[in-house]
A and B are shown apart, each in its own frame.
Chain A
Amino acid sequence: MAETHTALPAHQFDDLEQQHEAGALGMWAFLITEIMFFGGLFTVYTVYRWSYGQGFAEASRHLDIRLGAINTAVLIGSSLTMALAVHAAQTGRRRVLILFLLFTILLGSVFLGIKAFEYNHKFHEHLVPGPGFRLAGPEARHAELFFSLYFAMTGLHAVHMIIGVGILATLVMMANRGRFSPAHHAPVEITGLYWHFVDIVWIFLFPLLYLIGGR
C-alpha cells in the first residue's frame, strides 16, 4: 500500500513510522470492506439454509470432506509460514524471509490445485447448477441452490487466494532485491494481514459447506 522504494518515507509522510501505521490502518480498513463483501454472501447462505436446511444437507454430502479437510490443514499451514515470514522480515533475515514466502506460495498453490481438482470432479458428476444438473428428487432445486452458493463462495475465495499468491510473488522479488530491513518491512506485515484474513474466510466456509450433511 505504501510507497516503498527506499527506506525513506514517501513525500506525504513525516517519517517511516507514520507511513507504516498508515499502511496497516489502510489494510485493516480494506479488510473491513472484505468482511462486508463476504458478509453479503454469508447472508444469502444463511437465508437459504434456514429455508431449505434439508436440501442443503443432502447437497453437502456430495462434497468431499477429505479434500476439504486437507485444504483446511494446508491453509492453516500457510498461515504459519506467513507468520514466520513476517517474523523473519522483522528480524532482518533475508534468506529465511524468501524461503517462508516461497513456502506460503507453495501451500497456497496446493490449495488452489486441490480446489481445481474438486471443481473438475463436480463438473464430471454434473453437480454444476444449470440444465445439466444431475440430482433429482423433491429437494433437487434446493440442492442446486446450494451448489450455486458453493461455487460463488469458494470461487470468490479462490480469486482472493490467487491475488494473494500474486502479491507474495511480488514480495519475493522485492526481498530478493533487498528492499526490506528491520526498519522497513511494512509490506510483508500488511500482506500477512491479508493472507490471514483469506484463511479465516475459509475456516468459516469449510464447516458451512462441507460439514452440514450430518454424516
Chain B
Amino acid sequence: MPGREHYLNVSYGVKSWLLTGDHKRIALLYLGTITLFFFLGGAFAVLLRLELVTPAGDLVRAETYNKLFTMHGVIMIFFFLIPSIPAVLGNFLVPLMIGARDLAFPRINLLSWYIFLIGGLFTLGAVVTGGVDTGWTFYTPYSSAYSNTHVMATAIGVFITGFSSILTGLNFIVTIHKMRAPGLTWFRLPLFIWAHYATSLIMILGTPVVTIAILLLGLERAFHIGIFDPALGGDPVLFQHLFWFYSHPAVYIMILPGMGVISEIVTCFSRKRIFGYRFIAFASLAIAVLGFLVWGHHMFVSGQSIYAGMVFSFLSFLVAVPSAVKVFNWMATLYKGSILYQTPMLYAFGFIGLFTIGGLTGLFLATLAVDVHVHDTYFIVAHFHYIMVGGAVMAYLGGIHFWWPKITGRLYPEGWARFSALIVFLGFNLTFFPQFILGYLGMPRRYHAYPEEFQVLNVMSSAGASILGVGYLIPMIYLVWSMRYGPEAGDNPWEATGLEWTTPSPPPTENFPSTPSVEEEPYAYAPPEQEVPVG
C-alpha cells in the first residue's frame, strides 16, 4: 500500500527517533541497542570457547579469562536477556494487543531507554578500559576488597540500568490495568500480556533489591564501610542473599515473556484455541510469586543453615509445577491441531524441548545432595544456558520472526529462516549438551585450563558454538535485507487472532484507525472440521 502513512515514515531524521514518544519506535531503539550488546557478549563467548579447545591455558591468561566470562555474563544478562523480550516485543506489542494508542507514560518509556543507554555506556567503559573479573555475580569480599579491575564502573552501569527495567515494568503494569480497549476483560487478554504483567511485577519488586545491594557494594568498595567485610563484623553471605533475591527472580524476567511468546505462536500455528487458558495465565503469576521464594538454592554450599537449605530445596521443586503446567498445556494445544511448520513454530518447538531439559536439570540442582556434587561445575553452566539461550533466546527469535511482518510490513525469506532455525537448534545442542556431561564428570566452571580427558567434549562444545554463531548471523542478514527487499506482508500474514493483527502493517502512529472493541475470548482459532476458518 504505497503512500500510506505509518509509524516508520511519519517523520524522518535522527531527532524524530531520539525524541520519540512512540512505543513502537522506542521498541526499535531497544532492538538496535540490545542487538549490539548481544553480538558483543557473543564475541566474548567466542573467545571463551576458543580458549577451551585445548586443555592448556594457551590463548589467554587466567586473569584475562576471568574477565572474559565476567563480561560475557554481565552483558548478556543485564544488557541483553533482561531487556530482550519485554523492552523490544513487549514495548511494541503491549499497547497494540490491548487496543491502546500508546503506553501510559510515553516519556518515561523513552527515559527508560536513555537510562539503559547510560548504564550500558558505563559498562562498556569498564570493558574498554580493562574489564572486570568478579563474575557477573559480584560476590563479596572479592568484589569489595580484592579485585583490582573496574568493579566500580561496571557496578554503576548495572545500578543505573536497573532503573530502566523498573520504569518499563511500571509502565506495563499501569498500561495493562488502565488502558485496555472496551470489552477487553482480564480473561480476554492474550497470554503474552499475562506473561508481561507477571514479568513487570518481578521487575518492580525485585530490581530495587539488587539496586540497593549494588549500592552497598559500591559504598563498601569506596569507603570500606564494613557491611560485607568480616573484619568489621559484616557478612559476605548477606550480599549473596540480597543479590539472589533479585537475581533468581531475574531468571523469570528472562523466561516468562518468552513463555508468553510461545503461547501466542503455538496457538496460531496449531490453528486451535489454546488449551487451559486460565491455567497458563495463573501459572505466570504463580511463577512470579514462587520465584521470589527460592533464592537460597544458590547458596546450598555457601554456609547457609541446612534447614534453610531444605526449605529452599522444597520451594525450588514447587516452582517447577507452574512451569510444567505451561509445557503440558502447549502439548495439549498441539494435540490434534493443524500444525504448520513455519519458522516461528520451529523456534517454539525448540523452546519447548530445550526449556524442558533445562527445567528438569534444574530439579537435579534443587536436590541438596546432588547439588553438592555438581555445584560450580559445567552442569550448572549447561543448565542455565538451556533455560536462557535454549529458552529465552529461542523465544525471542521466534517472536521476532512472528511479529516481523507487523513491525516492518515485510516478510522475511521463509527458506533461509527455517534453515537458520535448524542451525540454531543443532548448534545449541552440540554446544551445551556436552557441558552437562563435563559437569557431571567434575569439570569446574570458570577455569581457563582443564585436564586432558575433558578435551573431546570441550572440542564438541566449541564446534557447536561456531555453528550456533552462524545460526545467529544468518537472521541478522536476511532480516535487515527483508526490510527493503522482502515482499509486502499484508495486515495479517499468519491469519492470527489478536488486536495487533487487525491494524495495518506497519501500524500507524496511533496504532488503530479507531479504538477497537473486543467481543470474544482470545485465540478464536477454529479446528477446521468444527468451525469456519478465520480470515
The answer to whether B225 and A11 touch across the interface, beta carbons within 8 angstroms, is: no
- List chain B residues, Cβ under 8 A from A129: 223-226
The verdict on B233 contacting chain A, using a C-beta distance below 8 Å, is: yes
* B-side contacts of A11, CB under 8 Å: 101-102, 510
User: How would you classify the secondary structure of chain B's contact residues: helix, strand, loop or mixed?
Assistant: helix
Given contacts A25-B178, A29-B204, contact A41 B212 (CB under 8 A): yes
Complex: A1 Cα to B107 Cα, angstroms: 9
Q: What 1/0 mask marks residues of chain A from 123 to 144 whose CB sits below 8 Å from any chain B CB?
A: 0000001100000000001101
With A3-B107, A32-B205, A36-B205 known to touch, is A43 a contact of B179 (CB < 8 Å)? no
- For chain B, the bracket of interface size reads 35 or more
Q: How large is the interface on A (under 10, 10 to 19, 20 to 34, 35 or more residues)?
A: 35 or more
Contacts of A47 in B (CB 8 A): 235, 238
Chain A, Cβ-Cβ closest to B232: A141
| Chain B neighbourhood of A55, CB < 8 A | 233
Q: Digit string of B375-395 for contact with A (CB within 8 Å is 1, else 0)?
A: 000000000000000000000
Q: Is B108 an interface position by the 8 A CB rule?
A: yes
* Max chain B Cβ within 10 angstroms of own Cβ: one of A2, A3, A37, A47: A37
How far is B411's CA from A88's CA once the two chains are assembled, in angstroms? Answer: 57
Near A by CB (< 8 A), chain B positions 79-129 give 95, 100-108
The answer to whether the Cβ of A64 comes within 8 Å of any Cβ in the partner chain is: no
The distance in angstroms between the C-alpha atoms of A11 and B511, with both chains bound, is 12
| Residues of A participating in the B interface, judged by any CB pair closer than 8 Å | 1-3, 10-14, 18, 21-22, 25-26, 29-30, 32-34, 36-41, 43-44, 47-48, 51-52, 55, 129-130, 141-142, 144-145, 148-149, 151-152
* List of B residues within 8 angstroms of A1 by Cβ: 105, 108
B contact residues vs A (CB 8 Å cutoff): 95, 100-108, 166, 170-171, 173-175, 177-179, 204-209, 211-213, 216, 219, 223-227, 231-235, 238, 242, 245, 510, 515
Pairwise interchain contact A29-B213, C-beta atoms closer than 8 A: no
Interface centre among B101, B166, B212 (most CB of A within 10 A): B212
Q: What are 10 A-B pairs at a CB distance below 8 A?
A: A30-B170, A30-B204, A33-B170, A40-B209, A40-B245, A41-B212, A129-B224, A141-B231, A145-B225, A145-B227
CA distance A118 to B95 in the complex (A): 49
A44 near B232: Cβ-Cβ < 8 Å: no
Q: Which of B103, B205, B212 contacts A12 (CB 8 A)?
A: B103
Shortest C-beta distance, B252 to chain A (Å), equals 16
B residues in contact with A10, CB < 8 Å: 106
Q: Which residues of B have CB within 8 Å of A51?
A: 233
Please give, as numbers and ranges, the residues of chain A lying within 8 Å of B515 by CB-CB distance: 14
Q: Determine how close the nearest CB of chain B comes to the CB of A168; give it in whole angstroms.
A: 20
Q: How far is the CB of A8 from chain B (nearest CB, A)?
A: 14
Residue of A22, A30, A141, A152 near B216 (CB, 8 A) is: A152
- Residues in A with CB closer than 8 Å to B175 are 22
A37/B208 contact (C-beta < 8 A), A12-B100, A30-B170 known: yes
A29 touches B170 (CB 8 A): yes
Distance, CA A43 to CA B212, complexed state (A) = 11
Contact B179 A12 (CB under 8 A): yes
Task: Knowing A37-B208, A40-B209, say if A152 contacts B174 (CB, 8 Å).
Answer: no
In the complex, chain B residues whose CB is within 8 Å of the CB of A130 = 223-224
Contact residues in A for B209 (Cβ distance below 8 Å): 36-37, 39-40
B93, chain A: closest CB distance, angstroms: 15
**What residue of chain A has the Cβ atom nearest to residue B245's Cβ?**
A40
Decide: B102 and A12 in contact? CB cutoff 8 A: yes
Measured between beta carbons, the chain B residues less than 8 angstroms from A141 are 226, 231-233
Q: Which residues of B contact A25 (CB under 8 A)?
A: 173-174, 177-178
**Do A148 and B226 touch (CB < 8 A)?**
yes
In order of increasing CB-CB distance, the 8 nearest A-B pairs are A40-B212, A37-B208, A148-B225, A12-B102, A36-B208, A22-B104, A22-B178, A12-B101
Residues of B with C-beta under 8 A to A39: 208-209
Compute how far the CA of A13 lies from the CA of B497 in the bound complex, rounded to whole angstroms: 25
A152/B173 contact (C-beta < 8 A), A22-B104, A36-B208 known: no
Assess A145 versus B104: contact at CB under 8 Å? Given A29-B204, A129-B225.
no
Residues in chain B near residue A30, CB distance under 8 A: 170, 204
Bound complex: CA of A29 vs CA of B173, how far in Å? 8
> Please, how many angstroms separate the alpha-carbon atoms of A55 and B223 in the complex?
21
Residue of A26, A39, A151 contacting most chain B CB atoms (<10 Å): A26
Q: Is the CB of B207 within 8 A of A144?
A: no
- Report yes or no: B233 in contact with A52, Cβ–Cβ below 8 A: yes
CA gap between A141 and B231 in the complex, in Å = 8
A11-B101, A148-B227, A152-B216 known; A33+B179 contact, CB < 8 A: no
Complex Cα–Cα for A77 and B401 (A): 57
For A1, give the chain B residue with the smallest CB separation. B105
Which residue of A is nearest B511, CB measured?
A12
Contact with A34, one of B208, B216, B238 (Cβ below 8 angstroms) = B208
A149 x B211 contact (CB < 8 A): no
Q: Which residue of B lies closest to A30 (CB)?
A: B170
Instruction: Kindly state the separation between the CA atoms of A10 and B179 in the bound complex, as whole angstroms.
Output: 13
List 15 extra interface pairs beyond A38-B212, A40-B245, CB under 8 A: A1-B105, A11-B101, A12-B104, A25-B178, A29-B174, A29-B204, A36-B204, A37-B208, A40-B208, A43-B242, A55-B233, A129-B223, A144-B233, A148-B227, A151-B225
> Which of B174, B224, B234, B245 is within 8 Å of A26, CB to CB?
B174
Please give, as numbers and ranges, the residues of chain A lying within 8 Å of B101 by CB-CB distance.
11-12
Q: Chain B residues near A26: list those with CB within 8 A.
A: 104-105, 170-171, 174
Q: Report A149 CB to chain B, min CB distance, Å.
A: 7
Cα A152 to Cα B214 in complex, Å, equals 13
- B170 contact set on A, CB distance < 8 A: 26, 29-30, 33
Docked complex Cα distance between A202 and B211 (Å)? 20
Docked pose: A1 CA to B233 CA in angstroms: 42
Enumerate chain A residues within 8 angstroms of B166, measured Cβ to Cβ: 33
Contacts of B179 in A (CB 8 A): 12-13, 18, 22
B222–chain A nearest beta-carbon distance, Å:
11
CB distance from B311 to the nearest CB of A (A): 18
Residues B204 and A32 in contact, CB atoms below 8 Å apart: yes
Output the least CB separation between B68 and chain A (Å). Answer: 30
Shortest CB-to-CB span from B188 to chain A, Å, is 19
> Which residues on B sit within 8 Å (CB–CB) of A13?
104, 179
CA distance A18 to B179 in the complex (A): 8
Give the docked Cα–Cα distance between A51 and B105 (Å): 44
- Inter-subunit contact B216/A48 (CB<8 Å): no
Residue from A33, A40, A52, A142 in contact with B242 in the complex, judged by beta carbons closer than 8 Å: A40
Docked complex Cα distance between A129 and B220 (Å): 11
Query: A12 and B234: CB pair below 8 A?
Result: no
CA separation between A22 and B180, bound complex, in Å? 12
Contacts of A48 in B (CB 8 A): 227, 233-234
- A30 and B245 alpha carbons, distance in the complex (Å): 19
